[in-house]
Amino acid sequence: MKKNFIALLVVICVSSFAFIGDPFKVSNEDSLISVKNERDEIFMLLAYSVVLDNWQTYDSTRGYNIGGVLVNDKGEVVNWARNSTKVCFDKTAHGEVRLLQSYLNDEKTRKAKIKYVDGCTVYTTLEPCMMCSGMLIFLKTDRVVYGQTDPGYGLNIERLQSDIVVDQDTIPANSRAKSLDNSLCKSDCTKSLDSAYSKFKGKGIVDFLYKDEARRIYIQAREKLLTYEVVNDENKKILKNAQNYLKKVEEKEVKDPCIKYVNR
């Protein structure tokens, strides 16, 4: 009787596994990254690496350790820039402002009569401030992907995307604001920066970004970009282009958009 019962149990277990699959087996799909997320991670690692290439300390003269890259709808990097508020003696010289202004003022862009950056994605190492968020919306940027979150001054695109109520009337947010796709890049480096900043006791986020602790994470980002192994074959070319672009930045083969402003 007991033997029969055990045999019955075995039969039930085996048939359950056949129907629902092995519950102890880790699904391969869970560990996969989508083509879009992988592409975002690659370009975000490039943005971190561009900033690392000219790392600033308290005594440095360029600006803050913030920057970004601009990618067109074909997945090509078309510009890069870093915050240059000190060297330009201009508090509006944020990475995103420089990135888009220098792109729109470039000879090639002007010749093509391009006035907006629709179809382009901005990858920026830090969540955009209110000024840059307004500019990104005004210039019809297709997507913004940011790295580190700014708990003190963030959520600006979300604020601009919100309807407001005035005298009991709902005023809808600007349609350009609503159509902007704004996303956080959930790479390990971003998570490390967010986690390290949450424990930081100093003055603020730009102060944190001068520290060796932040620099170490930026170094990891560069190493990750250079040794990256894509999960999605579609991104092989994207990765190669991003790695080659970094080489050009590091070897000063592509124009540093700051120079124009310094010499004006």
Q: Which residues are tagged catalytic?
A: 96
93 forms part of the interface with Zn ion (CB under 5 A): no
Torsions phi, psi of 180, nearest 5? -75, 125
Among positions 78, 87, 88, 129, the unique one binding Zn ion when judged by CB under 5 A: 129
**Overall size of the chain counted in residues:** 264
The piece of 17-25, 74-82, 90-98, 190-198 that touches Zn ion (CB under 5 A) is 90-98
CB of 149 to Zn ion, least distance (A): 14
Q: Count CB-CB contacts under 10 A for residue 123.
A: 28
Q: Which is nearer to Zn ion, 39 or 94 (CB)?
A: 94
Which 3 state secondary structure label does DSSP give 27?
coil
Among positions 62, 82, 94, 98, the unique one binding Zn ion when judged by CB under 5 A: 94
Q: Which is nearer to Zn ion, 71 or 128 (CB)?
A: 128
The DSSP secondary-structure symbol of 49 reads: H
The piece of 10-18, 94-102, 230-238, 248-256 that touches Zn ion (CB under 5 A) is 94-102
Helices assigned H by DSSP within the chain: 2-20, 35-52, 95-104, 107-111, 130-138, 156-160, 175-179, 188-198, 205-208, 212-226, 236-250, 258-262
CB of 131 to Zn ion, least distance (A): 5
Q: Which is nearer to Zn ion, 146 or 218 (CB)?
A: 146
CB of 250 to Zn ion, least distance (A): 25
CB of 150 to Zn ion, least distance (A): 10
Q: Count CB-CB contacts under 10 A for residue 92.
A: 12
Alpha carbons 188 and 221: distance in angstroms, whole number: 9
The piece of 23-31, 91-99, 115-123, 156-164 that touches Zn ion (CB under 5 A) is 91-99
Which residues, numbered 132-171, are part of the site for Zn ion (CB under 5 A)?
132
How many chain residues are in contact with Zn ion, going by CB under 5 A?
3
Alpha carbons 97 and 94: distance in angstroms, whole number: 5
Q: Which residues pair with 169 in a beta bridge?
A: 166
The piece of 98-106, 128-136, 196-204, 249-257 that touches Zn ion (CB under 5 A) is 128-136
Q: Is the dihedral of CA 216, 222, 223, 229 positive or negative?
A: positive
In one-letter notation, the amino acid at residue 4 is N
Q: Which is nearer to Zn ion, 38 or 64 (CB)?
A: 64
Closest listed residue to residue 160, CA positions, set 120, 132, 124 = 132
In one-letter notation, the amino acid at residue 248 is K
Q: Which is nearer to Zn ion, 132 or 249 (CB)?
A: 132
Q: Which residues bind Zn ion (CB under 5 A)?
A: 94, 129, 132
